[in-house]
Amino acid sequence: MIGTMQLANIEPQNSQVAELIKNTALPTEKASRIIEGLQSFLSGIAAYEQTASTIVVTDPEDVRGMKNAREIRLTIRDIRLKCADYVKQERAKVQARMADDKLEDGVLLKALQIIEQAAKNIESKLEHQEKFKERWEHDRRVELRQERAAIIEPYRAYLPNYADLADFTAEDFEKIIEHGKVAQRMEQERIEAERIAEEQRIAQAKAEAEKRKDTITKRRTALMPYPFGNGSAYNDDRIYEMSAQEFDTFLETARTRHEAHIAEQKRKAEELAKAKAQAEEQRKKQEAEHKKQQEELAEFKRQAELAKAEELAKAKAQAEEQRKKQEAEHKKQQEELAEFKRQAELAKAEAEQIARTAAIEIATTKKDIEGYISIPLEEYDELRHAQMMVQAFEFYNVQQWINYKKAMLYYAQLCDEAEAVNG
């Protein structure tokens, strides 16, 4: 490792480089060589670091400060680039030495692989011979296991599962086979006994079923004439389980109940027939009453319709009379209106002629344009108003006609006044 004194020679501003070399397990010689090679660059940068920290430009007019900053920056940049070239050259030397070391390492590794493979081949052959007995014992147990498995197969279902049949002696294996035969025989005897018992059970059940069917059929046949004796409410099991005496009593009860039911039904039928006859009589009576009411209602409607028709005819006659009266009144109004319009047209034409004449007289009697313009504005507007009233004439009543005559007189007056003014 690099010594304390050598580390002390490194500038404190480059403590990271010093820590790196310190923590690297390089031989002292190599570590010293690295420090010596980098010392000049580290010292050069450290020499300008203090000066660089004092340069602070706060004014765009501080040209000197910016120039000094540029010069120092370029100097440090030059040191940095030279350091990079130096390290690149040193790394190339190291990598060349590493290439020779890697080649040597590869040759040693390959030689080891060849030697190991040759030794392993010989060892494998010797091991095969060494373990001949083990292989022979293994083959013998495999063959024995297969033979015994084939022998025991017919009795496998009657024996437990053995881990390895080759573990047993010949005497023990014979005992196993004998035990399997006994178990097989006992199982076959058991199966045969169960088969015989099942056949007997089936035959007994069949006989019992036939007996049950025959008994139920006979008893159901005996109960058939008495359907209202509640015999059908009992299921087949209940009917079959009855003793002969119980069934006789049950049959008699069913017969008695059936006859009582028939008698009750007959009584109810007679009462129902009587009620139906009464209902039919009442229905006929109601129908006759309803028919009478319908006839009375029809007669009332007929009389109402006759009265309505008479009233409608009377109303139509009155309406027709009123219509004719209104038409005559309307015709009279139309004739009066036509005459009024004719008179109005004549008056309108007369007024227009008067207006044209007045306009011509005013235009021909004035001396000059100045004299015509001298007409008071209000008077001129009145003249125009009167003329417009004439042109827009549409009078359809007496009051409008009177207003028109007044306008014409006022218009004539204005014309006289205008003529006097323009004199």
Contact 183, 155 (CB under 8 A): yes
Cα diameter, the chain: 177
What does the mean pLDDT of the chain come to?
A: 76
pLDDT digits (tens, 9 = 90+) for 101-126: 776 566 666 666 666 666 767 667 66
Q: Quick one: pLDDT at residue 91?
A: 85
Contact 208, 191 (CB under 8 A): no
Q: Within 13 A of 209's CA, how many CA atoms are on the CB side?
A: 6
Q: Quick one: pLDDT at residue 410?
A: 67
CB atoms within 10 A of CB 61: 8
- pTM for the structure as a whole: 0.27
Domain ranges of the chain: 4-129, 134-212, 341-422
Task: State the amino acid at position 148 in one-letter form.
Answer: R
Looking at the chain, how many residues does it have? 423
Q: Quick one: pLDDT at residue 372?
A: 41
Among 102-116, 154-168, 178-192, the range of highest mean pLDDT: 178-192
CB contact set of 60 (below 8 Å; sequence gap of 6+): none
Q: Long-range contacts of range 315-322, CB-CB < 8 Å, 24 or more positions apart? A: none
pLDDT digits (tens, 9 = 90+) for 71-96: 888 888 888 888 888 888 888 888 87
Task: State the amino acid at position 208 in one-letter form.
Answer: E
DSSP code per residue over 208-255: HHHHHHHHHHHHHHHHTT-TTTTGGGS-HHHHHHS-HHHHHHHHHHHH
- For the chain, what is the total number of helices (H) and then of strands (E)? 11, 0
pLDDT bin (cut points 50, 70, 90) of residue 10 is very low
Angle of CA points 35, 36, 40, to nearest 5°: 100
Q: Quick one: pLDDT at residue 228?
A: 73
Which DSSP symbol is given to 162? P
pLDDT bin (cut points 50, 70, 90) of residue 311 is confident
Q: Quick one: pLDDT at residue 346?
A: 81
Q: Quick one: pLDDT at residue 197?
A: 92
